[in-house]
Structure 1
Amino acid sequence: MGASFNEQFDQHGAWRRGFAAQLQELREWLIAQDLLDTSVQERLQRLEEQMRSDKVMVAFVAEFSRGKSELINAIFFAHYGRRLMPASAGRTTMCPAELAWEPELQPCLRLLPIDTRESPESLGQWRMRSDAWAQHPLDIANAQQIADTLAKVAEVRKVSVDQARAWGFWHDEEGADNPLMDAEGWVEVPMWRHALINMPHPLLRQGLVILDTPGLNAVGAEPELTVNLIPQAHAVVFVLGADTGVTKSDLAIWRNHVLPAGAGKAGGDQATAASRFVVLNKVDTLWDSLSSGAQVQAQLRRQQQDSANLLGVPAEHVLPVSAQKGLVAKVGKNDALLQASGLPAFEDLLANGIMGQRQKVLQSAVQANVLQLQSQVERVINMRRSDLDDQLAELCSLRGKNANVIAGMRGRIEAEQKEFDRCTTKILAMRSVHMRMLKELFQLLSSATLKNELTDLKQALDQRGLKLGARKVYEQTFERLHAVTAQALVQAAEIHNMLGSTFKELNAEYGFALQTPPQLVLPEFSADLHSIEGSYTQYLGLGHALKLSGAAFSQRLIKALALRLRTVFEAASNEVDMWSKSLTAPVDAQLRERKRSYTRRLEAVDRIHGAATGLEERIAEMENAQARLGTLQSQLASVTGQLLSPLGMERQAAVPLDINLVT
């Protein structure tokens, strides 16, 4: 059996920290060699920050009483020797809860009152208002105090049916899923809308975020959960009860809130679908003295296959588990019971599914950025080498020449310098056009553009009563958003062509060695738009017509959509910004190197003019400088090779890079 989820996540954290330390060393080395321009430095810093602060979210989703909270306790909190998340019989986790670590906050539980459902503000907006949350400190050294405090997540209150309906917990058309009504006509609903648990747990410190979501009614009433948080989770664990199988409400949660839009279809989100795992929990209910071990295993295999067929997932993604026995086994250090619980097998599947995929994403980002950095730095080294070759040939031609010849050479260098300075006019003109075109591109991806494109949809959802035409408006809105993507790429292509043409002119007229700039590609922008479009479609069908007719729900829906889209547009703008800087960085680097070259050539001629031995000394300096450049290039290849090699990609700790500074 492989390492547990906790152990593998800890190894993943060590790998990230080690790589971030290596990137920092590389950045400092490049700065010391004066080989790092602003564009590359910013790219390296962003990559280093991504490696240090990368978050991995695991969402646990289930109908009530499936043992989801017990599974969280067993996987993440068994080392406390007791349950932390409330996991008694019945409806325990009544509101969605996020477990994470924000070091700027004290350990605490923050709870958002359910009354905020009456407001159209989204969860994202409520997060900004700290005064709206009830806050309770957590004593990390006291497991009992933590458990007692977290029990507040399960608190309920009794309200009228009308109030429950207004908050999204009562649906006249779905009576079987409504909460039970007592003799006085009251129903129980969660006291809290959302919980944020801030704990310095070792895994949470390393970037793990756990999302605990309760029941069909709770999930369905919060669009932000369905279309923002759950789709962005790196893994979703869907918990079924072995004693119930796949019920109607289980199937509704799976199809409407867990299965990614388009999964299983041609061109669907197969990578995301592969990160959906199913736990067939409470298998210990099948352990009895009347059935042999073989009979129990045969029954479990049938349940696995039936569940896989109903949910449309591979059978190997459905694992039988007893979370309760697994927790007991971990606390009691009972290896035999732990293996029988099935928990280690599930932890291994979860760890490989999450960490393997996440590490591939980070490795891909490292590879793309390091290769680009290597290419840019090598261009600077080659420019310096070419400049040294020219200077060396120039100095060697002065051997045996008199002072007048040397003075004449100084005049020629000054004339060349003056001619080259004329290129700054063309470069300034290029920058002016570039900035104007870039401004237009940023405007396309701005929040103002997004707000304008969502106007019609907002008006359609703000109408009173049934919103039967909202789906058509929704489809038209996304048609326009996809058109924005296409228009942004067209605008980027115009920038690319303009710069490419100017680069050719600079190369021909002033001796630059600028390469054709890369085209802008925004694959994630388009993919995210399609994913969001599919996630929200479910709310616009006839099945949600009554829910959508409520003003508060429809307003929460449009605000959640706007928040998710704003994040995607901002990410695209950041990509454009990095792309734009990478285009102009070579111009700045070559301009800087050429100006430095003229200064050094003039200084050399002045030194030689004043001393007979100066010429040979300067030639020797040039030859030594050439050797140092060769060493620098070898070191660069070695360092980037370490970062890109399979060993470097998989290293688990902060192993220093083999860098010897060249002076």
Structure 2
Amino acid sequence: MATSFNEQFDQHGVWRREFALRLKLLAEWLKDHELLDSAVEERLKRLEGQMRSDKVMVAFVAEFSRGKSELINAIFFAGYKRRIMPASAGRTTMCPTELGYDAEVPPCLRLLPIETRLQPQPLMEWRMVPEKWTRLDLDVNDPSQLAQAIEKVSEVRRVTQEEAKALGFWHDDVPEDNPMPGSDGLYEVPKWRHALINIAHPLLKQGLVILDTPGLNAIGAEPELTVNLIPQAHAVVFILAADTGVTKSDLAIWKEHLIAEDNESNVDSRLVVLNKIDTMWDSLSTPQQVQSQIDRQRSTTAEILQLPQDRVIPVSAQKGLVAKVNSDAQLLEQSRLPVLEQALANGVLGQRQGILRTAVAQSISELRTEGARVINIRRRDLAEQMVELKGLRGKNMSVIKHMRARIEQEQGDFDASGAKIHAVRSVHLKLLREVFTLLGTSTLKAEMGELTSALRQPGIKLGVKKAYAETFTRLRAGLNQAQKTSAEIQSMLTGTFRQLNAEYGFSLQAPREPDLARYERDLDLVERSHNQYLGVGNALRLAQPEFADRLVRALATRLRVVYESALGEVELWNKSAAAQLDAQLRERRRNFGRRLEAIERIQQAASGLDDRIAEIETQEKALDELDAKLGELTAHLTQVPAAQTNDEPALKTA
């Protein structure tokens, strides 16, 4: 039987936990054998952090009343034997809702008041100010209390037209999108801007994040949701009603927020669900006729959305939930829910694990190389000592004394080389500071300031795409300059290491140069998600300075993540080069100490020479065993779990 999304996510969680544990054991072993320099330690910390904190976000997007919350209930919360997300008739989820798990926060629902839209801080900054959120504690063992508390995401406020306009829900130029006034002349808007639900659900504990989004009007009013959260989701599930198919507002969400015209690749991370197929189950029609209607709707939907037909999956979320609650296998099969779960399992997790394993394999390979290099330095030093000591066999004390003087002379020359190495490091750090400046916070802040000024020019922003294009052109130029400077540093390191290897017998090798080109690809993705949002449909919104400011702040939040990642890679590269040099300098100083100690012992006792040769032979064997153990421990970390090798991904992720 095919593995469900829940089961496969369990396997994914087990794999990540086992990997993190093996990584910890490797770190302890490396430390015990003095193979853990600062660069290796940093690489291990990053890998462990990546494994422990890796999140898989699935965004559920739909216009109102498409059964989105019911689908979330059916896939993720059927184990509670009741609905957890509000899924009654009419508008349910009124604000974007994130379900995740943070072990450091007690189970709770946090709600950010809608009034925060009137202030300049982006959503990401509000996350850092927990006291500004309304918090309700949740009892995860009481499904009734849990469901009742989560119903708060559907709360609304009634406001005047001016308030609705200030909050981004009213636009004089787009009357068809505006809310209808009630009998009291007031307008209904969401009470909350964003909701965070933190519960120890098994899937959420293992790194799943579910993003439940409201309808078109609410999506458009929150640029950070559109340009940051949805584009960064590993998969987007877009829900339509099977009986109506693709409506005008559905198509608007799809075109404006989910699919970029100039980027076909993000089609691979989109899955369309034709929900409520049970409305087509008709006792007056034969099963074949019902199936024919569903197939026709599926085909039409795929054609309108320009998707392969296998990315459109018909289901009945409501019947799927009922079937799971009542353990009704026949009804579950009729609901088609397992087909959707399988597509999510193979696609989201298959691709995510592939990406993680690729990153892991590369980092582990570099760890293996760093550790092996230190072992080889020790092996070479022992070989030098062995040649030196064997050459002393049968020699008198004056020869041994001369040997001691030669070693002391070598040690003195080596210590004097410190000034040259320091000069090389000074030039290296000067160039490195240039890279840090290009990728630093102040550079990004200046660019965002310039973009804000351009968007604040009076009039409708028909030239807004040009302002964005100029900003991204400058950002790319900065990244390219950082890459050129990095290449210059790499060239200098290679030359310097070659010279040190020749002069002092080192085995230095310049670490792999950071690939900043991939961050340029990240910039492309960010620019596409913003360009998609800057169409004529939002030109009127952009005419409002406060809305344009919110958009730039959302952009800055996302760019900061890209630039911090690039800086982190440059810092690790620098640390790898410095740590490698420090390790070889340290080993060489130890080597001088061991050689002088051996000569001293030989001078004191005739038997010292043979004893020392035997010791070195024992140490050489120990190094061979150490190298074999390092290979074994790192090989364990790159093994693919058997359960993950057979599934062919059906849905790619971004």
Please give the alpha-carbon distance, in whole angstroms, between the structure 1 residues aligned to 2:132 and 2:383. 68
CA-based RMSD of the aligned residues comes to 1.7
Residue 46 of structure 2: aligned partner: 46
Residue 354 of structure 2: aligned partner: 360
The more displaced of 514-523 and 65-74 is: 514-523
Q: CA deviation at 1:530?
A: 0.6
Task: Give the counterpart letter for 2:214 in structure 1.
Answer: P
Please give the alpha-carbon distance, in whole angstroms, between the structure 2 residues aligned to 1:600 and 1:227. 61
Residue 661 of structure 1: aligned partner: none
Residue 37 of structure 2: aligned partner: 37
Task: Give the counterpart letter for 1:12 in structure 2.
Answer: H
Please give the alpha-carbon distance, in whole angstroms, between the structure 1 residues aligned to 2:642 and 2:76. 29
1:250 aligns with 2:244: no
Q: Deviations over 1:304-325 (max 9, x none)?
A: 1211122122211111110000
Given that residues 256 and 533 in structure 2 are in contact (C-alpha distance below 8 angstroms), is that contact kept between their aligned partners in structure 1? no
Residue 240 of structure 2: aligned partner: 240
The more displaced of 606-615 and 627-636 is: 627-636
* Aligned CA distance change for structure 1 residues 201 and 126 (closer, same or farther; 3 Å): same
Q: Deviations over 1:252-305 (max 9, x none)?
A: 1111112257332xxxxx2x4312111110000000111111111111112112
Task: Give the counterpart letter for 1:97 in structure 2.
Answer: T
Residue 474 of structure 2: aligned partner: 480
1:587 aligns with 2:581: yes
Residue 226 of structure 2: aligned partner: 226
Please give the alpha-carbon distance, in whole angstroms, between the structure 2 residues aligned to 1:513 and 1:425. 20
Runs of 5+ unmatched residues, structure 1: 265-269, 653-663
Scaled by the length of structure 1, the TM-score of the pair is 0.94
Please give the alpha-carbon distance, in whole angstroms, between the structure 2 residues aligned to 1:177 and 1:451. 34
Q: CA deviation at 1:551?
A: 2.4
1:433 aligns with 2:427: yes
Task: Give the counterpart letter for 2:624 in structure 1.
Answer: G
Residue 620 of structure 2: aligned partner: 626
Task: Give the counterpart letter for 2:32 in structure 1.
Answer: A
Q: Deviations over 1:70-122 (max 9, x none)?
A: 00111111111110110001101111111111222221111111122222322
Please give the alpha-carbon distance, in whole angstroms, between the structure 2 residues aligned to 1:579 and 1:493. 12
Given that residues 257 and 532 in structure 2 are in contact (C-alpha distance below 8 angstroms), is that contact kept between their aligned partners in structure 1? no
The more displaced of 399-408 and 429-438 is: 399-408
Runs of 5+ unmatched residues, structure 2: 647-654
* Aligned CA distance change for structure 1 residues 463 and 125 (closer, same or farther; 3 Å): farther
Please give the residue correspondences for 1:450-599 in structure 2 after superposition, counting only pairs within 5 Å: 450-599=444-593
Task: Give the counterpart letter for 1:408 in structure 2.
Answer: H
Q: CA deviation at 1:30?
A: 1.4
Residue 616 of structure 1: aligned partner: 610
Given that residues 455 and 467 in structure 2 are in contact (C-alpha distance below 8 angstroms), is that contact kept between their aligned partners in structure 1? no
* Aligned CA distance change for structure 1 residues 15 and 529 (closer, same or farther; 3 Å): same
Task: Give the counterpart letter for 1:583 in structure 2.
Answer: A
Task: Give the counterpart letter for 2:594 in structure 1.
Answer: R
Task: Give the counterpart letter for 1:221 in structure 2.
Answer: A
Residue 122 of structure 1: aligned partner: 122
Q: CA deviation at 1:407?
A: 1.6
Task: Give the counterpart letter for 2:471 in structure 1.
Answer: T
Q: Deviations over 1:187-241 (max 9, x none)?
A: 2211111111111111111111111001001111111001111111111111111
Q: CA deviation at 1:508?
A: 2.2
Residue 649 of structure 2: aligned partner: none
3-state DSSP of counterpart to 1:368: helix
Q: CA deviation at 1:533?
A: 0.8
Please give the alpha-carbon distance, in whole angstroms, between the structure 2 residues aligned to 1:518 and 1:353. 32
Residue 61 of structure 1: aligned partner: 61
Residue 416 of structure 1: aligned partner: 410
3-state DSSP of counterpart to 2:420: helix
Please give the residue correspondences for 1:134-533 in structure 2 after superposition, counting only pairs within 5 Å: 134-260=134-260, 262-264=262-264, 270=265, 272-533=266-527
3-state DSSP of counterpart to 1:601: helix
Please give the alpha-carbon distance, in whole angstroms, between the structure 1 residues aligned to 2:363 and 2:491. 23
* Aligned CA distance change for structure 1 residues 649 and 408 (closer, same or farther; 3 Å): farther
Q: Deviations over 1:460-501 (max 9, x none)?
A: 223444233332222111110110110110110111111122
* Aligned CA distance change for structure 1 residues 629 and 334 (closer, same or farther; 3 Å): same
Q: CA deviation at 1:647?
A: 4.8
Given that residues 227 and 533 in structure 2 are in contact (C-alpha distance below 8 angstroms), is that contact kept between their aligned partners in structure 1? no
The more displaced of 180-189 and 138-147 is: 180-189
The more displaced of 312-321 and 337-346 is: 312-321
Q: CA deviation at 1:651?
A: 9.7
Given that residues 461 and 558 in structure 1 are in contact (C-alpha distance below 8 angstroms), is that contact kept between their aligned partners in structure 2? no
3-state DSSP of counterpart to 1:325: helix
Residue 107 of structure 2: aligned partner: 107
Given that residues 117 and 552 in structure 1 are in contact (C-alpha distance below 8 angstroms), is that contact kept between their aligned partners in structure 2? no
Task: Give the counterpart letter for 1:224 in structure 2.
Answer: E
Given that residues 511 and 573 in structure 2 are in contact (C-alpha distance below 8 angstroms), is that contact kept between their aligned partners in structure 1? no
Q: CA deviation at 1:128?
A: 2.2
Task: Give the counterpart letter for 1:44 in structure 2.
Answer: L
The more displaced of 222-231 and 454-463 is: 454-463
3-state DSSP of counterpart to 1:288: coil
Q: Deviations over 1:424-453 (max 9, x none)?
A: 111111111111111111010011001112
Task: Give the counterpart letter for 2:335 in structure 1.
Answer: S
Please give the alpha-carbon distance, in whole angstroms, between the structure 2 residues aligned to 1:517 and 1:377. 13
Please give the alpha-carbon distance, in whole angstroms, between the structure 2 residues aligned to 1:610 and 1:261. 83
Residue 660 of structure 1: aligned partner: none
Please give the alpha-carbon distance, in whole angstroms, between the structure 2 residues aligned to 1:57 and 1:507. 48
Please give the alpha-carbon distance, in whole angstroms, between the structure 2 residues aligned to 1:536 and 1:608. 75
Q: CA deviation at 1:503?
A: 1.3
Q: CA deviation at 1:184?
A: 3.6
The more displaced of 174-183 and 579-588 is: 174-183
- What percentage of aligned pairs have identical amino acids? 57
Please give the alpha-carbon distance, in whole angstroms, between the structure 2 residues aligned to 1:625 and 1:399. 20
Given that residues 363 and 649 in structure 1 are in contact (C-alpha distance below 8 angstroms), is that contact kept between their aligned partners in structure 2? no
Task: Give the counterpart letter for 2:236 in structure 1.
Answer: V
Please give the alpha-carbon distance, in whole angstroms, between the structure 2 residues aligned to 1:146 and 1:458. 42
Residue 78 of structure 2: aligned partner: 78
Please give the alpha-carbon distance, in whole angstroms, between the structure 2 residues aligned to 1:320 and 1:647. 32
3-state DSSP of counterpart to 1:450: helix
Q: CA deviation at 1:539?
A: 3.6
The more displaced of 216-225 and 395-404 is: 395-404
Please give the alpha-carbon distance, in whole angstroms, between the structure 2 residues aligned to 1:595 and 1:444. 38
Q: CA deviation at 1:134?
A: 1.3
3-state DSSP of counterpart to 1:214: coil
Scaled by the length of structure 2, the TM-score of the pair is 0.96
Given that residues 15 and 650 in structure 1 are in contact (C-alpha distance below 8 angstroms), is that contact kept between their aligned partners in structure 2? no
Task: Give the counterpart letter for 2:537 in structure 1.
Answer: G
Please give the alpha-carbon distance, in whole angstroms, between the structure 2 residues aligned to 1:457 and 1:647. 48
Please give the alpha-carbon distance, in whole angstroms, between the structure 1 residues aligned to 2:609 and 2:505. 27
Given that residues 18 and 651 in structure 1 are in contact (C-alpha distance below 8 angstroms), is that contact kept between their aligned partners in structure 2? no
Q: CA deviation at 1:46?
A: 1.0
Task: Give the counterpart letter for 2:224 in structure 1.
Answer: E
Given that residues 61 and 213 in structure 2 are in contact (C-alpha distance below 8 angstroms), is that contact kept between their aligned partners in structure 1? yes
